[in-house]
């Protein structure tokens, strides 16, 4: 009997040891994930538009490693709601996160959609990953305890010189400070060395961790602060772009004549330089030069990350995704800002590289940043997360599936939406007014064709893609820099309060 008992114990121990080894083996075969966010990066990089002969060899390098989406669109043309959408896998119209929301308030008991949501990095942790993150990933950095290891984030978007170079961040709104916020908008060569940039320090942190060995796969987030304003980087990056060689984007002074009133209210941004001011002052090329310089600086830092990965033990088993939280207008539609439902504000780079993806492939179908969450799960061999409202792009990347039916939806404030599909852009504002552009003949969106009977059937088709649910503003989400959004939230709350009184009275 004792011998039998001893034998059973031995078998049990061997079985447990074997199962533990199998689990560890399964974990070690899962790919690592390198998750790279670039703030305010539009599509000027060389793998996509190659605007004004921009110099981005490392973006080209990443493009050759995998798949580049040249027509990807954000779910909100503002960093806070855009990043919340990516990290929750939910649309702004579902969560009510239309403005800036503190990282720790995205998931809270008072929000029915987000109160039990699993953030993207957390899903990987729950499935056996060691998670790490540094820099701007959510609106600020990340909610508390989202990462196993956090490098935090340097506050603001510095370093800053003692005096602004050109713009004071107030613009023509100086007499209306109570209505408009001050921005970091400015441009010039500063500081002296790359090593003084917070992004350089973030890459040092990532590089050091890529040298380590791990007993489980890792998820590592890196959030670059540039190319967010102020457009400050060292002089050597400006030297790449002589002013006489700079191109400026297409612009028409009367471009906004056919825009509905709500669109004009949203575009009321006196704290940003206007294109007319930039032309008259001779600053337009200088702003574009500064933006290009910032892109090339980020490209350099991206190269340092790719070098570190290539020289590590993780190079053959790492999924890379690179994305931006929205596009950026450099004079299009009369200003220098994101903050719009037009093409140049909603379109941004999206790139994937993975062992099981094609190399050097480009896809021009409209897709959404909302797809990042489910795509990473599939590329990593993890089970799908049922709460995701986006869909995985793996079949599209591997087999060209769903390219013809693909579309992208962007939301800015409650019930203002843009749909990109079939080479068209359709915009519908909260009051029912519309814009419609045929990109085959009007890529700059200069002529609003919403009232043209020629496009009636296409407009009706795109209307069906608008979200059926448009929840009210989340109580913790605000955008106080612009009066339209302040007034919209206030109005929605007042209407809700009136409705509640009527119900109570009955």
The sign of the torsion formed by the CA atoms of 57, 82, 259, 287 equals negative
Half-sphere exposure for 86 (CA within 13 Å, toward CB)? 29
CA 305 to chain centre: 19
In the three-class reduction of DSSP (H, G, I as helix; E, B as strand; rest coil), residue 30 is classed as coil
Round to whole Å and give the CA distance between 268 and 279: 19
Please tell me the distance from the alpha carbon of residue 465 to that of residue 420, in angstroms, as a whole number.
Answer: 10
CA–CA gap between residue 371 and residue 89 (Å, rounded): 8
Instruction: Give the residue numbers marked as catalytic.
Output: 79, 139
Whole-angstrom distance, CA of residue 387 vs CA of residue 381:
17
Pick from 377, 360, 359: nearest CA to 35: 377
CA distance 289 to 238: 7
Nearest to 197 by CA among 162, 166, 165, 159: 159
Q: Which of 300, 291, 290, 286 is nearest to 195 (CA)?
A: 300
Contact between 481 and 170 under an 8 Å Cβ cutoff? The reply is no
Q: Cα(277)–Cα(287) distance, rounded to whole angstroms?
A: 12
Tell me whether residue 488 is exposed, middle or buried, using C-beta atoms within 10 angstroms of its C-beta: 0 to 12, 13 to 18, 19 or more: buried
The residues, ordered by sequence, that sit 6+ positions from 326 with a Cβ below 8 Å of its Cβ are: 40, 74, 76, 77, 78, 79, 82, 338, 345, 346, 348
């Amino acid at each position: 009997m004792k011998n039998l008992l001893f034998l059973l114990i031995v078998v049990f121990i061997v079985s447990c040891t074997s199962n533990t080894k199998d689990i560890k083996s399964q974990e070690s075969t899962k790919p690592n994930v390198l998750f790279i966010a670039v703030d305010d990066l539009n599509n000027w990089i060389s793998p996509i538009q190659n605007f004004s002969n921009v110099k981005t060899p490392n973006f080209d390098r990443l493009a050759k490693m995998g798949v580049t989406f040249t027509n990807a669109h954000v779910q909100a043309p503002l960093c806070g709601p855009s990043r919340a959408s990516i990290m929750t896998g939910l649309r702004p119209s579902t969560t009510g996160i239309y403005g800036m929301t503190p990282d720790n308030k995205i998931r809270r008991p008072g929000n029915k959609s987000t109160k039990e949501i699993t953030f993207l990095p957390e899903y990987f942790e729950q499935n056996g990953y060691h998670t790490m993150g540094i820099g701007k990933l959510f609106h600020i950095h990340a909610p508390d305890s989202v990462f196993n290891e956090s490098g935090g984030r340097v506050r603001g978007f510095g370093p800053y010189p003692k005096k602004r170079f050109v713009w004071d961040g107030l613009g023509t709104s100086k007499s209306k400070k109570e209505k408009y916020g001050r921005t970091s908008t400015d441009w010039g060569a500063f500081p002296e060395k790359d090593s003084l940039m917070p992004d350089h320090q973030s890459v040092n942190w990532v590089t050091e961790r890529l040298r380590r060995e791990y007993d489980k796969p890792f998820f590592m987030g890196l959030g670059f602060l540039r190319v967010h304003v102020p457009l400050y980087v060292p002089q050597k990056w400006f030297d790449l772009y002589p002013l006489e060689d700079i191109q400026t984007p297409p612009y028409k002074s009367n471009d906004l004549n056919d825009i509905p009133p709500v669109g004009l209210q949203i575009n009321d941004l006196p704290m940003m330089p206007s294109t007319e001011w930039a032309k008259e002052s001779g600053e337009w090329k200088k702003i574009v030069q500064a933006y290009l310089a910032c892109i090339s600086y980020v490209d350099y830092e991206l190269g340092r990350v790719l070098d570190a990965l290539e020289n590590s033990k993780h190079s053959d088993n790492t999924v890379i995704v690179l994305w931006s939280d929205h596009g950026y207008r450099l004079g299009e539609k009369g200003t220098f800002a994101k903050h719009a439902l037009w093409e140049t504000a909603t379109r941004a780079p999206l790139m994937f590289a993975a062992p099981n993806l094609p190399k050097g492939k480009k896809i021009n179908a409209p897709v959404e940043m909302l797809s990042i969450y489910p795509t990473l799960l599939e590329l990593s061999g993890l089970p799908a997360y049922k709460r995701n409202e986006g869909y995985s792009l793996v079949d599209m990347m591997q087999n060209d599936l769903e390219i013809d039916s693909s579309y992208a939806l962007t939301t800015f404030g409650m019930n203002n939406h843009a749909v990109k599909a079939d080479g068209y852009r359709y915009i519908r504002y909260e009051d029912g007014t519309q814009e419609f552009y045929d990109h085959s003949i009007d890529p700059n969106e200069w002529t609003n064709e919403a009232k043209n009977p020629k496009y009636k059937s296409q407009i009706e088709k795109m209307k069906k893609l608008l979200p059926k649910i448009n929840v009210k503003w989340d109580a913790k989400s605000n955008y106080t820099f612009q009066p339209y959004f302040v007034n919209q939230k206030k109005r929605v709350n007042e209407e809700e309060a009136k409705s509640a009184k009527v119900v109570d009275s009955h």
